[in-house]
């Protein structure tokens, strides 16, 4: 597989980075060790409007 950007970790930081890259037309690949969706209380990542 060939990709421009590989993001290790799909937590809040990795997910946000993937979203920002997608806005610029760059398709990243996100690698995450845990299975999603993960169970978290009081934690969310909402889409940031530009």
**pLDDT tens digits, 5-49:** 999 998 889 989 999 999 999 999 999 887 766 666 555 555 555
Residue 10 burial by CB count (10 A; 0-12/13-18/19+): exposed, middle or buried? middle
pLDDT, position 12: 85
Do residues 41 and 8 make contact, with C-beta atoms less than 8 angstroms apart? no
Full-model pTM: 0.65
Give the separation between CA 49 and CA 36, rounded to whole angstroms. Answer: 24
What's the domain range around 34? Answer: 1-50
Q: How many folded domains does the chain comprise?
A: 1
């Amino acid at each position: 597989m060939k990709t421009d950007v590989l993001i290790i970790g799909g937590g809040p930081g990795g997910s946000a980075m993937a979203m920002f890259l997608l806005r610029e037309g760059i398709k990243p690949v996100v690698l995450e060790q845990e299975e999603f969706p993960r169970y978290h209380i009081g934690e969310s990542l909402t889409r940031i409007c530009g």
